[in-house]
Amino acid sequence: MNPTFMIAIPLLTAFLLFVLPKRRWLNTLFITLVALFTSVYSIAGLFNIEKSMSFGMGGWPTPFGINLVVDNLSAFFVMVTQLSFLLTIFALFGWYRAERYSGALMMTFLAAVNGMILTGDLFNLFVFMEIASVSLFALLNLRESSGSLKATFNYMVLNALASSVYLIGIALVYRATGTLNMADLSQKWGVISEASATTVFLMLLTPLLLKAEIFPLNLWAPRIYGRSSAGITTLLAGMVAPAGFYAMIRLFSLLSSSGTTQNSLLILAVLTMVIGEVVALTRKSLREMLGFSSVAGMGVLLMAALSNAMEGALFHLFNLALAKVVMFLSVELLTAGGRDDLESLKGTYKRNPAMAFVFASGAFSVAGLPLFAGFRSKLIILSDMMKAEHYIITAVFIFASIVEFFYYTRAVQHIFSSNEEIAGGRQCSHPLSTLVLLAAAIFIIFTGIYPESVMALAEKAQMALTDVGAYVASVLGGM
């Protein structure tokens, strides 16, 4: 797979939309085609990767110019984000027809998220992070209210602060080592003294922790999830958070960090998980509940990644992204963008039984019910953490899972409970989006029963992550 296409084609489309005739169906068609192309191309590429490949951009030799890296890990993450995007586009088909502006924003967003994952350069990562954030800020206000505007303002201020910290980190790295290429930097990282290395490492991690919704940098998340349209927050839970998580684990593997750093991050991850699950339990609004649950999910991933359960973490990331996207979208279609507190959900399954089924399969997957995909990945994380003798954290993880199981079952129970007041027959989703979401729900159950295919991909990705030598050799050409 040539990574240039993954960035160039969405970016080109974003500008093409302004040249094409002003027809909504034409814009929608174009966006859908691009999303289909990037998904198919990334999945096809995923099965053809022998080893890590580096592509120098703009004719510069690699440590000096910007390079894009494709290996099993980055291809895996690109695949996850493409699937989230494709699902979102299809599911929103019914009520969302692309205006030029929002369509173009979606395209720049897609290009930037792909860039965040594929890039091999620290500064380029910063640029793509900013493009993704700016597009997202605008998209979050597609259906604007004073609540969503204020939440966005909050998010923007925090984001700008974190980016500034990252830039200072870049300045320090460049001063000490004279390079910003990640592979080159991993060779020269030893030049920096240990105390400064820890500081710089944490500075580089700051915006990534913010993107991956890790406590205490996730204070923006609840308001955004609660006040913005759920159709767009899927992009947050299914694309931005995985991309941030990817950049984080890539930095973990390339730049060695002290045990204290890893342990403190592990504590933050566990705190994220516990706080997220417990607060989700207390929420009345379904969107907010899902938001906190998504924060908790990212905590689980970081916790697993830091306690020797990387393979399970990657598999769980796939399941989590899919389930979250499916749940946010089905909530949007179930409630028709209206009230979403648990009481008003009573009996909604009569209104739209397909969406109720889709929501239930997503919820049970995240909650880790047997037969669903999330059960398999949680089991792998558990057994790997037990093998690595992290007993206390494992106990906390089990506690959090029980809480999670409880509130998801409660939500599903509310949706399926009978209520005389709601009359049937008010179908509000487009047949195509129903079909696509149903397919995704069936895929979740399929992965739960036959997890081997996705497991194999996660395993290959994990091997690519640990093989730092191959990564560096592919970028620097065996220097």
Q: Which residues are at the interface with another protein (CB under 8 A)? A: 123, 127, 130, 133-134, 137-138, 141, 144-147, 149-150, 152-153, 156-157, 160-161, 164, 167-168, 170-171, 174-175, 227
Going by C-alpha positions, the residue among 129, 148, 146 that lies closest to residue 138 is 148
398 near 382, Cβ under 8 Å?
A: yes
DSSP SS3 for 119: strand
Shortest CB 178 distance to another protein, Å? 9
- Pick between residue 161 and residue 422 the one whose CB is nearest to another protein: 161
- Whole-angstrom Cα distance, residue 210 to residue 77? 18
Peptide bond into 216 cis (omega under 30): yes
State the pairing for strand pair 67-70/53-56. antiparallel
- Whole-angstrom Cα distance, residue 416 to residue 179? 57
- Six-digit token pair at 147? 């609540």
- Whole-angstrom Cα distance, residue 374 to residue 326? 13
Shortest CB 293 distance to another protein, Å? 20
Shortest CB 459 distance to another protein, Å? 38
Going by C-alpha positions, the residue among 171, 247, 266 that lies closest to residue 207 is 247
- Pick between residue 336 and residue 422 the one whose CB is nearest to another protein: 336
- Pick between residue 72 and residue 206 the one whose CB is nearest to another protein: 206
CA 401 to chain centre: 20
Residue 121, beta-bridge partner list: 181
Shortest CB 127 distance to another protein, Å? 6
Shortest CB 378 distance to another protein, Å? 34
CA atoms within 13 A of residue 15's CA, in its CB half-sphere = 5
User: What number of H helices and E strands is found in the chain?
Assistant: 21, 2
- Pick between residue 122 and residue 325 the one whose CB is nearest to another protein: 122
276 near 293, Cβ under 8 Å?
A: yes
- Pick between residue 89 and residue 203 the one whose CB is nearest to another protein: 203
Q: What are residue 65's phi and psi, to 5 degrees?
A: -95, -175
- Pick between residue 48 and residue 146 the one whose CB is nearest to another protein: 146
Query: Which helix (DSSP H) or strand (DSSP E) does residue 53 occupy?
Result: strand 53-56
DSSP SS3 for 55: strand
Place of tokens 């860039």: 115
Shortest CB 202 distance to another protein, Å? 17
- Six-digit token pair at 315? 């598999």
Shortest CB 333 distance to another protein, Å? 21
- Pick between residue 32 and residue 141 the one whose CB is nearest to another protein: 141
- Pick between residue 13 and residue 159 the one whose CB is nearest to another protein: 159
- Pick between residue 36 and residue 138 the one whose CB is nearest to another protein: 138
Q: Which residues have C-beta within 8 Å of that of residue 351, sequence separation ≥ 6?
A: 334, 422, 424, 425, 426, 427, 428
Going by C-alpha positions, the residue among 373, 366, 360 that lies closest to residue 334 is 360
Residues across the chain: 479
Q: What CA–CA distances, in Å, run from 103 to 48, 80, 136, 258?
A: 31, 21, 12, 44
- Pick between residue 124 and residue 272 the one whose CB is nearest to another protein: 124
- Pick between residue 62 and residue 152 the one whose CB is nearest to another protein: 152
Shortest CB 160 distance to another protein, Å? 5
Shortest CB 130 distance to another protein, Å? 5
Shortest CB 339 distance to another protein, Å? 11
Shortest CB 274 distance to another protein, Å? 27
Shortest CB 229 distance to another protein, Å? 14
- Whole-angstrom Cα distance, residue 211 to residue 366? 20
- Pick between residue 172 and residue 278 the one whose CB is nearest to another protein: 172
CB count in 10 Å sphere of residue 229? 22
The 8-class DSSP code of residue 181 comes to B
- Whole-angstrom Cα distance, residue 6 to residue 308? 31
